[in-house]
Amino acid sequence: MSELHRQLQEYLAIRRAMGFKMERHAKLLGQFADYLAAHDAATLTIEHALAWASAPSSADPRWWSARLSMVRGFAVHLHALDPIHQVPPRGLMPGGSRRTVPYLYTDPEIAALVQAASELSFPLRAATYQTLIRLLAVTGMRVGEAIRLDREDLDDEFGLLTVRGTKFGKSRQLPLHPTAIAGLRDYLDLRDRLLPDPSTSALLLSARGFRLRYERLWETFHRLVAQAALRSRSPGCTPKIHDLRHTFAVTTLLGWYRDGADVRAMLPRLSTYLGHADPKHTYWYLSAAPELLALAADRLDAHQKDLR
């Protein structure tokens, strides 16, 4: 083990002690440490960081930025131990910390994605992606949370789905509509017939009976978007799988406004359901759709008139 590999293990241990999972960081930063070792580099330099982060030339620039961001965190740790290590400055790659414009799916667009998934090769693979898209659309859970679901996390008797080990180290229970429970039961019946002895405890299975991998899922979803003929609404508003979460949040808020609910009082519930560590992160969705902003403005205007 090289000195950089040893220091990486120390960095990961510190971050985990602070409550961060670091699963993807461990994998990618391990690859970065291997890259440095292969280049006989004993120190972390900006040049090496950029070269490694942008190595997959066909990848989305946002993926390059995410890789560089992980390296930057490690570099800050190393620089504190020895200033010889260089810290890549922020903004070297576009698309890092800026919020992109969410692509809010319509019901027909979600249906088109599900239909496209039904045409994937292998019946189990098709059923898994159909179930995944529907599950993300009706729960707003994070993609990583859906991948980590185990079969035992579904309590179909009480209509509950337990999301464990979330982004902030907490677990939560999601009540599901009876139609969602019925859909999950149908999926489980099918997968039990097609693959009665899977290699994992995962709820959602790949065609070979393994837990889904995020990278492969991302690639497949992009193909489904193309097959469903979904088009970007602007250069910064392209259909992404995470936008199913945005769509769920915005649709929920719109429904509350239209029903005349006390949105301010209800927001903490949505925050808990989405697994946000702080309700302020849920407030961001208020700016995600023009209609939502208009309804919020109308509600504020009516409230101010009542105070006069």
Domain assignments of the chain as residue spans, ordered by start: 3-81, 101-308
| Low-confidence winner among 49-63, 74-88, 132-146 (lowest mean pLDDT) | 49-63
Question: pLDDT tens-digit profile of 19-43?
Answer: 778 888 999 999 999 999 999 999 9
* CA angle (182 as vertex; 176, 186 as ends), nearest 5: 135
Q: With pLDDT > 70 as the criterion, what percentage of the chain qualifies?
A: 85
Token pair for residue 291? Answer: 């209609």
Instruction: Look at residues 195, 202, 113 and name the one whose alpha carbon lies nearest to residue 153.
Output: 202
Q: Region 90-95: what's the mean pLDDT?
A: 69
pLDDT of residue 19: 72
Amino acid symbol at 226:
A
Please state, in angstroms and rounded to a whole number, the distance separating the CA atoms of residues 266 and 285: 14
Instruction: Look at residues 285, 268, 246 and name the one whose alpha carbon lies nearest to residue 106.
Output: 246
pLDDT of residue 97: 46
| Low-confidence winner among 102-106, 129-133, 158-162, 274-278 (lowest mean pLDDT) | 274-278
Q: With pLDDT > 90 as the criterion, what percentage of the chain qualifies?
A: 54
Q: Region 84-94: what's the mean pLDDT?
A: 82
Please state, in angstroms and rounded to a whole number, the distance separating the CA atoms of residues 244 and 209: 25
Per CATH, domain 101-308 is 1.10.443.10 = yes
Q: Which element (helix H / strand E) includes 162?
A: strand 160-163
In terms of pLDDT, which residue wins out, 298 or 177? 177
Please state, in angstroms and rounded to a whole number, the distance separating the CA atoms of residues 240 and 226: 11
In terms of pLDDT, which residue wins out, 123 or 277? 123
Token pair for residue 39? Answer: 């280049």
Give pairs for 226-230: CB < 8 Å, separation 24+: 227/116, 227/119, 228/109, 228/112, 228/113, 228/115, 228/116, 229/112, 230/109, 230/112, 230/113
In terms of pLDDT, which residue wins out, 56 or 5? 5
In terms of pLDDT, which residue wins out, 30 or 233? 30
Q: Which element (helix H / strand E) includes 175?
A: strand 172-175
CB atoms within 10 A of CB 26: 17
Instruction: Look at residues 176, 182, 151 and name the one whose alpha carbon lies nearest to residue 164.
Output: 151
pLDDT of residue 251: 87
Catalytic residue numbers? Answer: 142, 167, 242, 245, 276, 285
In terms of pLDDT, which residue wins out, 57 or 106? 106
Q: Give Cα separations from 301 to 4, 7, 151, 307 (angstroms).
A: 58, 56, 48, 10
pLDDT of residue 21: 81
**Band (304; pLDDT cuts 50, 70, 90):** very low
CB 180 within 8 A of CB 138: yes
Amino acid symbol at 61:
P
**Band (291; pLDDT cuts 50, 70, 90):** low
CB 297 within 8 A of CB 289: no
* Total-model pTM: 0.67
- Asked if the model's pLDDT at residue 177 lies above 80, the reply is yes
Which strands make up the sheet holding 172-175, listed edge to edge? 154-155, 160-163, 172-175
Provide DSSP, 252-290: HHHHHHHTT--HHHHHHHHHHHHT-SSTHHHHGGGGS-H
Instruction: Look at residues 260, 280, 256 and name the one whose alpha carbon lies nearest to residue 268.
Output: 280
**Band (303; pLDDT cuts 50, 70, 90):** very low
**Location of structure tokens 């972390």:** 44
Q: Which string of b and e fits 282-299 if b means at least 16 CB within 10 Å? A: beebbebbeebeebbeee
- Three-state DSSP at 210 gives coil
Per the rule left: phi > 0, alpha: psi between -120 and 50, beta: everything else, 159 is left
Q: Region 273-280: what's the mean pLDDT?
A: 75
Q: What is the mean pLDDT of the chain?
A: 86
**Band (111; pLDDT cuts 50, 70, 90):** very high
